[in-house]
Structure 1
Amino acid sequence: MSGKTLEEWLSFIESQHPNNIELGLDRCSLVLEKLNIKRPKGKILTVAGTNGKGSTCAMLTDYLLHDEFTVGTFTSPHFLKFNERIAINGKPVSDSLICDAFSVIDRIRSDIELTYFEFNTLAAFYIFDQAKLDHWVLEVGLGGRLDSVNMIDADVAVVTSIALDHIDWLGDSLDQIAIEKSGIARPNALLVSGVVNPPDTIQSNALKIGAILKQKGEHFFFDANSKHWSWKSDSLSFSNLILPHLPIENAATVIAVLVFAGFVPTQEKLSSMFNRVTLIGRFQTVNDSPHVIIDVAHNPEAAAELAKRITMLGVQPIAVCGMLEDKDFHSVINILSNSFSSWHFADLRAPRGAKSLLLAECCGRGICYNSVSEAFAAAEQEAIEKHVPVIVFGSFHTVADYLDVYS
């Protein structure tokens, strides 16, 4: 199968399993064993959660890089290029590295069926192993306990947040979802929970596993005002920290990871990191005139965070919204219904994309379009006339469709 381009490999691996998702570790663990992958010199940091995984991974990666470590980072999904998922020292790896990894995995797996995401995960592990890095930062794709990222033991497990999402796969209660996500923890290894009002099952599951649990609101705390913020634990505190570009809840969790994992962060290093790190699609300004913001908020918890950020704008922006039909779009739209002066709904190119008409009916107002680009063009003209921002949100697909045309 050698000689394929990356696009050909991606088409090939998409066709190798009848389901896009099949949770479970047995099949991919067999392939992992055959690959004989060695652990990094330092730590494997695995991050799960309903929201905040990408922000947490970005901040951890940046801090470690500027602390003069080498770092491999695995995230998903990507926006424009598959290579975004697998990065070494903050930069996406080349097509050739990914193709070589796919070739090795395909040869070794024999007749073992792997999903698209399992191929991705194994390729990241293989590439990181070949690069002989200090640390790996791994983002869980779905859930935690049965996600393919969890086939390799974490030295530090992180749960960023818990909310109802993917209930067909993870369960229909916060207690059950917390069990699934905290299932990335290991005996005698650190589990950092950044969950606000955590379900009791995080603590009970950590006790069952034998993990060393550190929880927000119990073992570490933070406080913020409009200019600075502070963080403290029983043994250490930081005050007058620079407000991060990314959500402060995740920033507080990142400090906890660094402190409890023994990285000894300093005030100067933390403030520098918070001042540097941004992330595609996390309340990201991509244009100034008119002011355009993109955000991947696609569930109620993320919508509530977006609503808080909108209030800080001091003006009602215009919405360009596209969502997937299996998301709780009713709650998302309800939470944000009074945040926008007008709504422009778009059909998405994704297979599970909700029709714009359905979203508009849910909202009770708004104009429908066949694509994100059409919706944005109308919203942009309105924004110019009214001198207000446009916010493009609702899904990774929505943001990707915008970037595909306007980046």
Structure 2
Amino acid sequence: MNKLPTTLSDWLAKLETMHPKAIDMGLERVAQVKDRLGIRFDCPVIIVGGTNGKGSTCAMLESILLQAGYRVGTYTSPHLLDFNERARLNGELASDEALIEQFAAVEAGRGEVSLTYFEFTTLAVMRLFAQARPDAVIFEVGLGGRLDAVNVLDADVAIVTSVDIDHTDYLGSTREEIGFEKAGIFRPGKTAICGDPIPPQSLVDHAQAIGADLWLFGRDYNYAGDKQQWNYGGRGQRRNSLGYPALRGANQLLNAAAALAALEALRNRLPVGAQEVRNGLVMVDLPGRFQVLPGRPTVILDVAHNPHAAATLAQNLNHMAFHPYTYAVFGAMQDKDISGIIAQIKDKIDHWCVTDLPLPRAATAEQIRQKLLDAGVIPEAKAGAERTIQTFSSPAAAYANALSRAGENDRIAVFGSFLTVAGVMEARRAEGLS
């Protein structure tokens, strides 16, 4: 019998090579192991899917419920620096020891069933939460919805935050095809919330076909606000004089309104007071989502890795105070619409520091450079030019270069893959910075 790993890093290394495919869509294998492990929840289960805004919506729900005194399990992915970020119990990261114990249980319970890294770790976190018997659990979908491992759970409330083009190899190439995949987390007779202001018809049709209770933004719930505060209005509940969420950015009120709609739907099981909502929104924290770091030059971290998210980032950059020059530290996966991302944000960037990433499926810095040239971004010229493109072997090296050239009134936008943002966060952590 093979000896089991004893450290979290050894476990994660083992899981990366256990299944022949990194992504293997389908629920049969996961459901089989879930049943063997006896994973079930008596508390409300909230599942959050969508192209962008999933992590922010989960963070707001978690923050509000914690302020209301509930015990909450929250599962999100991917992580930025430490795997433990994926599993939070009552706001605290799961310990290495707790995760190792659950990994061993899944390994013992899976028998001959082969699981991907994501499926295995998702089951481990589900078992961790089920044993903790919390008052509510929040699960973020990994990819799509219908065939994602998280979807072996039946959601009491399912939220689809937004629908746009991403992961076309798995989900389809149109909003209608992708909308159907996202709607797969809806359940008959249960609340299904769509936060996208223009929902795909496929999502609406699927909700109706299965008899889900569909809440549409603009029809069943809405928000209104001014520069100081905002109000939420739902089917039977109003929340007035709310402060803006601590998470910055153009779409955060859409995410916050979807979170409040979910809480309205659950108000008989998880009542939450007005002050708890206010406190939760003000105290919510989520690294890497238009995160503006203290100090000069201004540094912005944003995991915008598709055109929809890049358009939002461009809008957010537009709303900031004037900065003479903007530097970009950018790296992305090869399967992303890199040209689409560039098209949305190129007018906001003066100097591009593009980077390789430590994964085989990442686009090389040279490939990104070529796409920038194809998009009409002025190529590199002599030193001191108004616009430049330079390539680097790592996010840390790209960031160091941007930092060395940026003036104190300039800004550096670090965006693209989670690995781009994580690489810069790692470099800053090594220097003792936040």
The two structures share one fold, judged by TM-score above 0.5: yes
1:5-44 matches, within 5 Å, as 5-40=7-42, 42-44=43-45
Paired amino acid for 1:55: S
Give the Å deviation of 1:386.
5.4
How far apart, CA to CA, are the structure 2 residues paired with 1:225 and 1:342? Answer: 35
Matched, 1:260 2:265: yes
- Unpaired runs of 5+ in structure 1? none
| Stretches (4+) displaced over 4 A | none
Q: Give secondary structure in 2 for the equivalent of 1:306.
A: helix
- Unpaired runs of 5+ in structure 2? 380-388, 430-434
Matched, 1:400 2:422: yes
1:354-373 matches, within 5 Å, as 354-363=363-372, 364=377, 365=379, 366-373=389-396
In the alignment, is the contact (CA less than 8 A) between 1:287 and 1:293 conserved in 2?
no
Matched, 1:336 2:345: yes
Give the Å deviation of 1:249.
1.5
Paired amino acid for 2:241: N
Distance 1:76 1:136, change over 3 A: same
In the alignment, is the contact (CA less than 8 A) between 2:65 and 2:272 conserved in 1?
no
Q: 1:388 aligns to what?
A: 410
Q: Give secondary structure in 1 for the equivalent of 2:347.
A: coil
How far apart, CA to CA, are the structure 1 residues paired with 2:99 and 2:273? Answer: 36
How far apart, CA to CA, are the structure 1 residues paired with 2:359 and 2:409? Answer: 32
How far apart, CA to CA, are the structure 2 residues paired with 1:207 and 1:201? Answer: 10
How far apart, CA to CA, are the structure 1 residues paired with 2:111 and 2:355? Answer: 43
Give the Å deviation of 1:350.
2.2
How far apart, CA to CA, are the structure 2 residues paired with 1:403 and 1:69? Answer: 31
Q: Give secondary structure in 1 for the equivalent of 2:402.
A: helix
TM-score (norm 2): 0.90
Paired amino acid for 1:76: S
How far apart, CA to CA, are the structure 2 residues paired with 1:226 and 1:382? Answer: 35
1:292 to 274, 299, 308: 299
In the alignment, is the contact (CA less than 8 A) between 1:296 and 1:399 conserved in 2?
yes
1:267-286 matches, within 5 Å, as 267-286=274-293
Instruction: After superposition, give the CA deviation of every residue in 1:317-369 in whole Å (9 maximum; x if it has no partner).
Output: 32111111111110111110111232211111122221122222222342211
Q: 2:386 aligns to what?
A: none
Q: 2:432 aligns to what?
A: none
In the alignment, is the contact (CA less than 8 A) between 2:164 and 2:175 conserved in 1?
yes
Paired amino acid for 2:305: H
Q: How many residues are matched? A: 405
Q: Give secondary structure in 2 for the equivalent of 1:144.
A: coil
Q: Give secondary structure in 1 for the equivalent of 2:301.
A: strand
Give the Å deviation of 1:265.
4.0
Instruction: After superposition, give the CA deviation of every residue in 1:172-230 in whole Å (9 maximum; x if it has no partner).
Output: 11111111111111111111110121111111100111111101011111123333222
2:254 to 243, 249, 253: 249
Q: Give secondary structure in 2 for the equivalent of 1:158.
A: strand
Paired amino acid for 1:402: V
